[in-house]
Structure 1
Amino acid sequence: MDIGFIGLGAMGRAMARNLAAGGHAVKAWNRSGGAVEGVDMVTSPAEAFQADAVMTMLSDDDAIRSVVLDPGLLHAASRGPVHVVCSTISVAFARELVAAHTAAGLGFVSAPVLGRPDVAARGELNVLAGGPPGVVDKVRPILEVIGGRIWDMGPEAPTANAAKIACNMMITMAIEAMAEAVVLTEANGLARDHFFELILGTLFGSRSYQVYSANIAAGTYEPGFKATLGFKDLRLAMAAAEQVGRHLPMLEAVHRRMAETVQAGLGERDWSAMAEFTINGGRQS
């Protein structure tokens, strides 16, 4: 398949490389340039949209709006590609994208992904696919290249975005839960690595607990998923809760803690750095 790809951050770069290695013809555009093995770099996002399918892995709603919607790329895409948005975006903006693609006569699939750059490099992302079944089926071959599993989120694309936001919200809650547990156990003489050995071997053996307990145990937070992006995703969750008229106290707590993390200058560190504020009584270590 002839694929256009827009957005070559740590995740997008791995995804584009895997698509090319899987035998697809990939042409990519990135705001900051760069090169990816097997990928043909083009000089404009409009060129990337001249394809059978276009995947975008841009950082947020505003980036997609400025790169895709504002320049009118949807109406200029002469080959009528299916546009697959893999970014974590707001539910409201996903609805706007559905309307914009319908007006332009293009297929649209929301396909946000679960996984860090190492998972993307192995082609083992969990892909949350939302959109009309016939449209999703058209791009399923390329989703299978980037993903270890494709999860059907139903015929309405924004459902996938709501699911992804909820997943990221729950990861931050897990980070906060581990931090609060460390407060109790360390104060009573139990080293955090020993406590994490207990919880991983009994009650909480999921990948989120495995990855982020290791960060908290070592007290090191080299970025896998930056705190600035985590804060963005929690803002999306807050907005989604507001849209349905609900008050979510745990969400509000982790949103506040992530805000403190970013405000303290740790926005480029891993989002699990928020744990240190709880462990250290609201102070940066």
Structure 2
Amino acid sequence: MEIGLIGLGAMGRAMAANLVAAGHDVKCWNRSGGEVAGVTMVATPADAFQADAVLTMLADDAAISTALLDAGVLAAARPGVVHIVSSTISVAFSQALQEHHQKAGVAYVAAPVLGRPDVAAKGELNILAAGAPAAMERVRPVLEAIGKKIWPLGEQPAGAHAAKVACNMMIAMAIEAMAEAASLTDANGVPRDDFFELILGTLFAGRSYRVYSKIISEGTYQPGFKAQLGLKDLRLAREAAAPLAAPLPMLDAVHAQMSKAVEAGGAERDWAIMADYTLRSAAK
């Protein structure tokens, strides 16, 4: 397939490389330029939309709006193109995007992903996919090239973005849970690595606990996913929760704690820096 890709951050670069490795003809647009072996760089987002499918991996609602909607890119897209949005965006914006795509006659598939850049590089992302069945089937080769499993989540793209926001909310809660638990055990002389080995071997063996307990133990917090982006996703979760009949108190608490960690200088570090903020605060 001829595939356009917009956004060459750490995740986008890994996706581009895997698409090339799978034999696809890939052309990319990136605001700040750059290059990936085997990829043709194009001058504008509109050029990327002259393809069979286009995958966007941009930071947020505003970045997609600026790159695509403000410039009228959808209206100039190749007939029959399918647009795959892998960014983590708000539920409301995903709903608005569906309307924009319908007006332009462009198929829209939501495919946000679970996985950090190292997982993306291996082509082992979990893909949360939603959209019209025919469009989903057409872009299956694209999704299979970048991920290890596609999780179908219905025909409404906003549903997949809601699921991604909910997953990130739960990861943040897991990070904070480990930090608060370690605060208790640290204060009572239990070596932190021993405690984490205990929880991983008994109650909490999932990937998020394994990945983030290791980061917390090492204490380096090199960014795989920056705290400022984590805070953005928690804000998106709060926005999605606003219409609900009752508040989500754990979400409010973890959003407040991530905000404090970012304000304390952690914006560019891995979002597990929230754990460091909690542990330091508890030890004072």
TM-score range, shorter chain: over 0.9
Q: Which residue of 2 aligns with 1:213?
A: 213
Contact 2:183-2:282 at 8 Å conserved across structures? no
Alignment of 1:123-134 (within 5 A): 123-134=123-134
Matched, 1:230 2:230: yes
Structure 1 unaligned spans of 5+: none
Give SS of 2:258's match: helix
Distance 1:230 1:10, change over 3 A: same
Separation in structure 2 between the aligned mates of residue 8 and residue 113 of structure 1, nearest angstrom: 15
What residue in structure 1 maps to residue 152 of structure 2? 152
Alpha-carbon distance in 2 for matches of 1:226, 1:40: 28
TM-score by length of 2: 0.98
Could you say which residue in structure 2 is the equivalent of 1:31?
A: 31
Q: Which residue of the partner structure matches residue 276 of structure 1?
A: 276
Distance 1:280 1:81 in 2: 51
CA change 1:18–1:190 in 2 (3 A) is same
| 1:264 equivalent in alignment to 2:264 | yes
RMSD: 1.1
Q: Provide the rounded CA distance (Å) in 2 between the counterparts of 1:66 and 1:88.
A: 16
> Shift of residue 79 of structure 1?
3.0
| 2:250 alignment partner AA | M
Distance between the aligned counterparts of 1:46 and 1:276, measured in 2? 43
Corresponding residue for residue 54 of structure 1: 54
Take 1:149 and 1:174, find their aligned partners in 2: how far apart are those partners? 23
Aligned to 1:71: 71
Partner of 2:195: 195
CA contact (8 A) 1:85 1:112 kept: yes
Would you say the 8 A contact 2:79–2:106 is kept in 1? no
**AA at the equivalent of 2:101:** H
Alpha-carbon distance between aligned partners in 1 of 2:74 and 2:216, rounded to the nearest angstrom: 44
Cα distance in 2, alignment partners of residues 246 and 44 from structure 1:
44
CA deviation string 1:102-149 (max 9, x = no partner): 011110000000000010001000000011111100101110010100
Q: Letter of the aligned partner of 2:269 in structure 1?
A: R
Q: What TM-score does the superposition give when structure 1 sets the normalisation length? A: 0.98
CA distance in structure 2 between the aligned counterparts of 1:149 and 1:77, rounded to whole angstroms: 28
The aligned counterpart of 2:106 is 106
> In structure 1, the residue corresponding to 2:109 is in which secondary structure?
strand
The answer to whether the Cα contact below 8 Å between 1:179 and 1:276 also exists between their aligned partners in 2 is yes
Matching residue of 1:136? 136
Q: Are the counterparts in 2 of residues 19 and 142 from structure 1 also a CA contact under 8 Å?
A: yes
Percent identical pairs in the alignment equals: 63
CA distance in 2: counterparts of 1:36 and 1:177, whole angstroms = 39
Partners of 1:282 and 1:240 lie apart in 2 by: 31
Moved over 2 A (4+): 243-246
- Alignment: residue pair count: 284
2:173 aligned residue: 173
Shift of 1:282: 6.2
Per-residue deviation at 1:21? 1.1
Match of 1:79, SS state, is coil
Superposition pairs of residues 244-259 of structure 1, within 5 angstroms: 244-259=244-259
SS of 2:26's partner is: strand
In 2: Cα distance, 1:165 partner to 1:80 partner: 29
Given that 1:51 and 1:79 are in contact with CA atoms closer than 8 Å, whether structure 2 keeps it comes out as: no
1:116 is matched with 116
Residues 282 and 183 of structure 1, relative CA distance in 2, 3 Å threshold: closer
Contact 1:4 1:51 in 2 (8 A): yes
Aligned counterpart, 1:7: 7
SS in structure 2 opposite 1:33?
Answer: coil
What residue number does 1:84 align with? 84
Q: Tell me the residue number matched to 2:186.
A: 186
CA distance in 1 between partners of 2:253 and 2:148 (Å): 33
1:245 deviation in Å?
Answer: 4.1
SS at match of 1:280: helix
Tell me how far apart the structure 2 counterparts of residues 14 and 154 of structure 1 sit (CA, whole Å).
27
**Amino acid in structure 1 at the alignment position of 2:228:** T
